Amino acid sequence: MTDVAFGIDIGGSGIKGAPVDLTTGEFLLERVRIPTPQPSTPKAVAKTVAQVLAQFGEDVTNLPIGITVPCVVRSGITRTASNIDKKWINYPAAEVLADIIGRPITLLNDADAAGLAELYYGAAQGESGLVIVTTLGTGIGSAIIYDGILVPNSELGHLEIDGFPAEKRAAASIRTKEDLSWSAYSKRLQTYYSTLEFLFSPDLIVVGGGISRSSEKYLPNLKLNTPIVPAQLRNRAGIVGAARFAAEHTL
């Protein structure tokens, strides 16, 4: 496996990229961010991804490229679309991205990328057994990792709990939208993580997303038998996980 790869994280508001030192998980150059085009159609997004890469010039010419999308990805085809244009549904995204960029790429779900980053460089490093990484943001993303192996495309934010999709009650965006106190929000998270614990009996739960920087305001309120800890890579996770995935899957 190469020691350096390039990661790109496609989000609803921004497309971010940087070359990554795969020994340490650190960026080798400062991250570039370009706003996500609106509408965020596959071809418009691919052109913006090409613009991100162009910012680095010859520094990244021969690097493997990994790209995250907020979609279920199977065999290079995006099967769903969360917080991105619905034209991504059942779209040959890997092929189109590679054609427009002019380079081979690997494609994976954004929460799966975050999970890989935490596995190799963060809060799940060295952990055996079943680890569930969740990302609390606009919705809830998830990554399931068993004995260091990613089980891709879990969608645990869409579990129905008390008659609602979990992310409609417990995503970080809901706390802001409903102006919930940390105490009230903690009760929502308790319900969600208790359900995950009952269904999966994990050995570790990692909580990521931007809200992980405020973990002291809600994690101590949760009563679980499973250890639950904040993610360590935060906003770097998507890029780092994408780069690692590319290095492992590029021939």
Residues in the chain: 251
Residue-wise pLDDT for 24-68, tens only, equals 999 999 999 999 999 999 999 999 999 999 999 988 989 999 999
Q: Which residues of the chain have pLDDT under 50?
A: none
pLDDT score at 87: 97
One-letter amino acid of 231: A
Q: What b/e string do you get for 41-71 counting C-beta neighbours within 10 Å, with b at 16 or more?
A: bbeebbebbeebbebbeeebeebbbbbbbbb
pLDDT score at 176: 97
pLDDT score at 209: 92
User: Does CATH place domain 126-231 in 3.30.420.40?
Assistant: yes
Q: What is the rounded distance in angstroms from the CA atom of residue 76 to the CA atom of residue 162?
A: 34
**What secondary structure letter does DSSP report for 91?**
B
Q: What is the rounded distance in angstroms from the CA atom of residue 247 to the CA atom of residue 124?
A: 20
> Do the domains 4-112+236-249 and 126-231 sit in the same CATH topology, yes or no?
yes
pLDDT score at 251: 66
Residue whose token pair is 């009952």:
198
Query: What CATH number does domain 4-112+236-249 carry, 3.50.50.60, 3.40.1350.10, 3.30.420.40, 3.40.50.12780?
Result: 3.30.420.40
Write down the pTM of the prediction.
0.96
* Residues 78/69, Cβ–Cβ less than 8 Å: yes
Q: Strands of 42-151 (E only): list them.
A: 65-69, 73-74, 77-78, 106-109, 130-136, 140-146, 149-151
Residue-wise pLDDT for 59-86, tens only, equals 898 999 999 999 999 999 999 998 899 9
Q: Where are the domains of the chain?
A: 4-112+236-249, 126-231
pLDDT score at 59: 83
pLDDT score at 147: 97
